[in-house]
Structure 1
Amino acid sequence: MNLKQFSANFAPNYVTLIRLTFCIRFIVKKIRVITLFLLLDFFLLTGCVAQSTETEIPLPPKREFRAVWIATVDNIDWPSSKTMPPSEQRSEFSTLLDFHKRVGMNAVFVQVRAAGDAFYAKSSEPWSEWLTGKQGRRPEPFWDPLDFMIKEAHQRGLEFHAWLNLNRLVHKSSTSVSTDNLSYTHPEWIINYDGYKLFDFGIPEVRDFITQVTVNVAKNYDVDGIHFDDYFYPYVVPGQVVQDDATFRKYGKEFASKADWRRNNINLLVKQIHDALQEVNPRLKFGISPCGVWRNKGTDPEGSKTYGALASYDDLFADSRKWIKEGWVDYIAPQVYFSSGFNRVPYKNLVDWWTDNSFGRHLYVGMGAYRVGYKERDTNWANPKEIPNQVRYFRGNETDGAIFFSSRSLKNNSLGFVDSLRQDLFRYPALVPTMPWKDNIPPLSPKSLKATLLLNNALELFWEKPDPASDGDGATYYVIYRFEPDEKASAYDPRRIIGMCHEGEKFVDKTVQPGKRYVYYITSVDRLHNESRPIGPLRVEVQEQKLVRF
């Protein structure tokens, strides 16, 4: 394939692309055939050129979101101790990122607001006790964890999403509460429930404050996204009552029921935050990870084929389907923490339902990695193939990837399921899926690709930055492809990606062998992961102590 043909793989006609995408989505939703999903990935990249029948082996995905939640509340994932010195916390976090990068992840979701607190310096809320040992105590020596974590993630090519809990002011496990905590400064905003102090979402000033907290992070930190978990109104605890009667009397007169009013409060909050983030940075990603079940089919004919499950709409007053249907979120990451063999809430049923209800936004499946290998009534989690099979299933559907809960569970590697990810399912790199409603303009190609042979017989590629594209974007990182001389160059096979360069304009290929010939192409990728046409081919033969073009 010559440069013109290979380049065409990275420059699809977007009108044709959109029409084609929706046509194939219809087919995929109806018959769920893995081959068709692979054709979708191929068509998006090659502009509808017929696929070669040279191989029957399905290709790994070129684009797939692969992320992990890193929980800070109660020191679940990081830092492992709230009395750990800052230098050790930094080292521990960097090591954690290295681990997840090796597993094959391309994004992390780090909890930076756990309970009316902050893991970052530019905040009106007090420092977290799970960072410094006491809520309100600043780190000594001083540092800004969020700044550090973002830089470390980006250096490794990992997207960084700031995960904020939006309902808690005091956690039931808290051992210290600062006098600067809002439960002291604004007690009228508070609901006491099951040992927690929670926001009363019916109060407009509360929604304004949560929006301000969110926008503050977006303005002051170079995050790729803002993320909320599933905590809105609290999960029901027997004998406990949410005491918001007075707020309902004041603000809910136009609603027939308190349930409708509560759902409206959350809808107002989600839309308000979406609009505020759009104004601050329209390219910033915003998403939520709700409870896995929106509504059961027995309650609502539009609900999922699940039976008697806790539902976000009915039990948490969170109309998660509406948020994505209205375009208030860029992605939805439902917590599908159920096994494939669980009769009441089967994993596959939920994935199918969310696939049919993603409304053109990204769907990331929330994976219950924490359940693998634990003794519980659902014995399916004792099967080491459960998570790998779940990955295969969501790939066969129209999803955009997955987020795993949580980091500690991946580190523990129960039943060796992480080995299956690292060695098989996530063996090859994947680019983060694009969001064309935010940015559909690819960057320009790198310039002046050259190569030289280093003293240790490694081959160094180097090039120049591209000029800015029409939207002003340059290259955030580069993708390096390598082919055999007689091999047909392909833009959609991640097995030919030998590396991604996230700093500078050079890459060292340490796997070349004397006497062999190689063909290289390099592309630019912008912040929203649009990929340029390539520069190349660069054809070189590695000889003893020198490099020869052919």
Structure 2
Amino acid sequence: MRRLVSRFILLAMAMMVARADAAPELRAFWADTWHAAMRTPAEVDAMLQAARTARANALFVEVRKRGDAYYISHYEPTAGDVASGFDPLAYLIQRAHNETPRIEVHAWLVMLPVWNSTTPPSNPAHPFNRFPQWLTLNDSGANFDGNNYSFDPGNPEAADFMYRVALDVLRHYDVDGVHFDYIRFAGDRWGYNPVSVSRFNAAYGRTGQPAYNDSVWSQWRRDQVTQLVRRIYASAVALKPWCKVTAATITWGNGPTSESAWFSTSAYSAVFQDWRAWTEEGILDIAIPMCYYNHANSTYRTYFNNWITWAKNHRYNRSVAIGLGAYMNTLSNTLAQIDLVRTPTAQGGYSDGVVFYSYAAPNVDGSGNIQWYNPTAYTTFGNYFGQWEPVPALPWKTSPTTGIVMGVALRGSDLQPLDRATVTLFRSGFSRSMRADGNGAFAFIDVPPGTYTLRVSASGLPVVNRTVAVSAGSVWRETVLAGTLGGVPLPIDDLIQQSDGLVVILPDVRVVAGNDRLGGSIYVEDGQTPTAIRVNTNPAVPWIEGDRVAVLGTLSTQGNERVIVPAAIRLVGVEAPSTHSLQLQVVWQQWLSGSVPVQVDVLRRDGALVKRYTFTPDDTGIVTWPRDGAIAPGWYDVRVKSSHWLSARLRDVFLPTTGAAEISLVNGDVDGDNEVTLYDFGLLVQAFGTMPGDALWNPNADLDGDGEVTLFDFGILVSSFGLSGE
């Protein structure tokens, strides 16, 4: 009885403190995948039901836990606890977006930790097993921090890999955002990957190993993390400007109460996560500081208040929401923390909402015991909020007034990244400069509209100036090759006419078929024509469709195909999967009715079947099929067969491409054997005079589609007698 009374009081409190001025507000849960959340459809359904009960409008779901994937990844293995054949993220998005109320889905990525046990993962494809050279080390040479093995963002290959992993989700799933976790070092003694140390020494003319508390070395590590965030943010805006880039950021200890106090926080000085600078620069849409403090403790209440005040006052031109440690608080204390989050600061700072950690552990009882998947907690939150509200609009996304300039700087002779090249964007009254990262990448955020000069300066190379035009909401991407080019730059159409042995360079081309489908080669297009050329390459991290690459190599002929054997290939950007298509106009000869299903075979020139499709054209006979990545670019024959028409073949079609072609089908193949013979004549005789519903009705004998078998159908058959399909 006492428990029932307590629950009644708690629910009454929740209803009393609910805001009267309901307005858009982020109300979300973090849903980790160490616990039940999205291993099966039933788990996803239960999570969504709980979220809707709580009047939540977003879920931050852990889709990369430790180098594994709760989605179909091009780079990492599927998590071992996912039901066979199940795509958790795809199912979640479908159910979250298509049912009412709509729930936003943010892909939560644990960024740098890649494994959490001293026993290696059993899957040889796991990145921990494949790339041990990317692990961060501490100043004593150890690579396990007691909790995790982590990749080091100061190693350009590791940073490039994490860039691709983050954007892989964005490119292939209709997520509402990508969410970073553990995008930091484990502590101030970490970051000693040999490649990062070597780069640091080269940059500052040093030798040996820097001390862990060396201020220049600390800033170097801080920069490596920030550069990764910046690169992902700019590319995310280019890919899907409406998607949100967010991060769960470190608090730890007492919150800063002055501007200078920020530089003593663990976030800034120990793990090198300068998230205050990220919001100021605009490379995060929403910072979500993890203010996990037990509200029953007066000291921690002070820490909590100081952190949320700091966060609300340092949102700059971006958004802040507060992460609440619901897993360590009673329901009444979590509600008290929400009240504090909703209260503006003395300076007018505010939060756009709350994110609960976690869906699995929404509260503790009075004795501090976690109440796993507690339905009372979800109901209490729902009663507190009162009614569902949408997430707040982000004006820099819905009504942008600035643009982005981004790109990659490479040495023209060998496509080596211009690590730490000085990149300056300027015009009269405006100038910004930055250092390119270890992959040569750079990005300027929130650039006012106008025409600018982009200048790249690197030691020993001539200065390169480019003119760029920025408009509101635009992303200008520039690939800069500095110095003498190592090959002849030619359009692909011209290149394939050249002699073998010519060294060529393609500064910025799109991968239209990748290693994930073709193994040891890719195909690239330059966008000037639909012609593609094969590039022989089989890297440890595959190239996939939509990658933008620079290629340097030697032209060759293998079989009847022109090929580039590369000396170097570099990632210069990413794009979404192609929506290009081939449009085929099918003409059914001597046919009065509507559209008929067709079988479309894509054949190699030797007749081998590559891919078979079945389509129902529209009423005009037009078939359109998307570039699905199943066909490597090249020249093919296309064969079309439909019901009682003979097959026809289009020869020498370049696929995949955007284009149009017409194919005409000859009528009269009643038995479907692809020739018109006496057997077809016999079937026509058998069905003569029948209509639909008659015992002997044969729809394939109704050659003209008028609903009866008559002399007109015999006339069609006679005109085609003796013919066979292609």
TM-score range, shorter chain: 0.5 to 0.7
What is the aligned partner in structure 1 of residue 28 from structure 2? 67
* Aligned mate of 2:303, from 337, 346, 350: 346
Cα shift readout 1:227-258 (whole Å, capped 9, x = no counterpart): 0114421157xxx8654355213335446532
Cα distance, 1:330–1:241 mapped onto 2, change above 3 Å: closer
Is residue 323–residue 354 contact of structure 2 (8 Å, CA) maintained in 1?
yes
- Give the match's secondary structure for 1:208: helix
Cα distance, 1:415–1:212 mapped onto 2, change above 3 Å: closer
What is the aligned partner in structure 1 of residue 245 from structure 2? 286
What is the aligned partner in structure 2 of residue 249 from structure 1? 198
Is residue 116–residue 168 contact of structure 1 (8 Å, CA) maintained in 2?
yes
Structure 1 residue 358 corresponds to structure 2 residue 312: no
Cα distance, 1:372–1:294 mapped onto 2, change above 3 Å: closer
- Mapped to 1, the partners of 2:256 and 2:326 lie a distance apart of 26
- Mapped to 1, the partners of 2:352 and 2:66 lie a distance apart of 30
- Mapped to 2, the partners of 1:289 and 1:233 lie a distance apart of 14
Amino acid at match of 2:356: F
Cα shift readout 1:449-506 (whole Å, capped 9, x = no counterpart): xxxxxxxxxxxxxxxxxxxxxx9xxxxxxxxxxxxxxxxxxxxxxxxxxxxxxxxxxx
What is the aligned partner in structure 2 of residue 112 from structure 1? 63
- Mapped to 2, the partners of 1:282 and 1:125 lie a distance apart of 26
Is residue 294–residue 312 contact of structure 1 (8 Å, CA) maintained in 2?
no
Unaligned segments of structure 2, at least 5 residues: 1-17, 137-142, 205-214, 345-349, 363-370, 401-472, 474-726
- Mapped to 2, the partners of 1:204 and 1:294 lie a distance apart of 32
What is the aligned partner in structure 1 of residue 179 from structure 2? 227
Cα distance, 1:253–1:295 mapped onto 2, change above 3 Å: farther
Amino acid at match of 1:302: S
Cα distance, 1:273–1:250 mapped onto 2, change above 3 Å: same
* Aligned mate of 2:77, from 126, 133, 155: 126
Cα distance, 1:432–1:271 mapped onto 2, change above 3 Å: same
Alignment of 1:482-493 (within 5 A): none
1:295 Cα deviation from its structure 2 partner: 8.6
- Mapped to 2, the partners of 1:122 and 1:385 lie a distance apart of 41
1:96 Cα deviation from its structure 2 partner: 1.5
Cα distance, 1:265–1:175 mapped onto 2, change above 3 Å: closer
Cα shift readout 1:123-152 (whole Å, capped 9, x = no counterpart): 321111242xxxxxxx53x13221111111
Alignment of 1:322-401 (within 5 A): 322-340=277-295, 341-343=297-299, 346-373=303-330, 384-397=331-344, 398-401=350-353
How many corresponding residue pairs?
A: 350
Amino acid at match of 1:393: L
Q: 321-330 vs 178-187, which deviates more? A: 178-187
1:90 Cα deviation from its structure 2 partner: 0.6
- Mapped to 1, the partners of 2:70 and 2:271 lie a distance apart of 27
Amino acid at match of 1:388: L
* Aligned mate of 2:261, from 276, 296, 303: 303
Cα distance, 1:118–1:426 mapped onto 2, change above 3 Å: same
Is residue 267–residue 323 contact of structure 1 (8 Å, CA) maintained in 2?
yes
Is residue 113–residue 150 contact of structure 2 (8 Å, CA) maintained in 1?
yes
What is the aligned partner in structure 2 of residue 94 from structure 1? 45
- Mapped to 1, the partners of 2:393 and 2:201 lie a distance apart of 40
What is the aligned partner in structure 1 of residue 596 from structure 2? none
What is the aligned partner in structure 1 of residue 621 from structure 2? none
* Aligned mate of 2:275, from 293, 317, 320: 320
Judging by fraction of residues, say which structure has more strand. Answer: 2
- Give the match's secondary structure for 2:28: strand
Structure 1 residue 182 corresponds to structure 2 residue 127: yes
What is the aligned partner in structure 1 of residue 107 from structure 2? 162
Structure 1 residue 201 corresponds to structure 2 residue 153: yes
- Give the match's secondary structure for 1:390: helix
Cα distance, 1:404–1:175 mapped onto 2, change above 3 Å: farther
Structure 1 residue 78 corresponds to structure 2 residue 37: yes
Cα shift readout 1:510-549 (whole Å, capped 9, x = no counterpart): xxxxxxxxxxxxxxxxxxxxxxxxxxxxxxxxxxxxxxxx
- Mapped to 1, the partners of 2:381 and 2:168 lie a distance apart of 36
1:415 Cα deviation from its structure 2 partner: 12
1:205 Cα deviation from its structure 2 partner: 1.6
Cα distance, 1:173–1:401 mapped onto 2, change above 3 Å: farther
- Give the match's secondary structure for 1:360: coil
- Mapped to 2, the partners of 1:241 and 1:328 lie a distance apart of 24
- Mapped to 2, the partners of 1:320 and 1:128 lie a distance apart of 30
1:184 Cα deviation from its structure 2 partner: 2.5
Instruction: Please give the TM-score of this superposition, normalised by the length of structure 1.
Output: 0.59
- Mapped to 2, the partners of 1:313 and 1:387 lie a distance apart of 27
- Give the match's secondary structure for 2:63: strand
1:333 Cα deviation from its structure 2 partner: 0.4
Q: 91-100 vs 268-277, which deviates more? A: 91-100
- Mapped to 2, the partners of 1:261 and 1:284 lie a distance apart of 29
- Mapped to 2, the partners of 1:276 and 1:294 lie a distance apart of 34
What is the aligned partner in structure 2 of residue 458 from structure 1? none
1:222 Cα deviation from its structure 2 partner: 0.3
Structure 1 residue 258 corresponds to structure 2 residue 217: yes
- Mapped to 1, the partners of 2:45 and 2:376 lie a distance apart of 23
Amino acid at match of 2:242: R
Is residue 70–residue 109 contact of structure 1 (8 Å, CA) maintained in 2?
yes
1:223 Cα deviation from its structure 2 partner: 0.3
- Mapped to 1, the partners of 2:375 and 2:72 lie a distance apart of 39
1:190 Cα deviation from its structure 2 partner: 1.6
What is the aligned partner in structure 1 of residue 583 from structure 2? none
- Give the match's secondary structure for 2:218: helix
Is residue 155–residue 195 contact of structure 2 (8 Å, CA) maintained in 1?
no
What is the aligned partner in structure 2 of residue 548 from structure 1? none
Is residue 294–residue 320 contact of structure 1 (8 Å, CA) maintained in 2?
no
Cα shift readout 1:334-362 (whole Å, capped 9, x = no counterpart): 00112455426521111111111011311
Amino acid at match of 1:70: A
What is the aligned partner in structure 2 of residue 422 from structure 1? 382
* Aligned mate of 2:393, from 434, 451, 458: 434
Structure ID, larger Rg: 2
Cα shift readout 1:61-114 (whole Å, capped 9, x = no counterpart): 221110001101xx32425xxxxxx7xx11121112111111110000111111
Q: 176-185 vs 198-207, which deviates more? A: 176-185
What is the aligned partner in structure 1 of residue 91 from structure 2? 148
- Give the match's secondary structure for 2:60: strand
Cα distance, 1:284–1:58 mapped onto 2, change above 3 Å: closer
- Give the match's secondary structure for 1:334: strand
What is the aligned partner in structure 1 of residue 673 from structure 2? none
Amino acid at match of 1:251: F
Amino acid at match of 1:164: L
1:403 Cα deviation from its structure 2 partner: 0.5
Cα distance, 1:62–1:187 mapped onto 2, change above 3 Å: same
Is residue 294–residue 303 contact of structure 1 (8 Å, CA) maintained in 2?
no
Is residue 225–residue 284 contact of structure 1 (8 Å, CA) maintained in 2?
yes
- Mapped to 2, the partners of 1:418 and 1:215 lie a distance apart of 32
Unaligned segments of structure 1, at least 5 residues: 1-56, 80-85, 132-138, 374-383, 442-470, 472-550
Cα distance, 1:251–1:295 mapped onto 2, change above 3 Å: farther
Amino acid at match of 2:372: N
1:294 Cα deviation from its structure 2 partner: 9.8
What's the % identity of the aligned pairs? 25
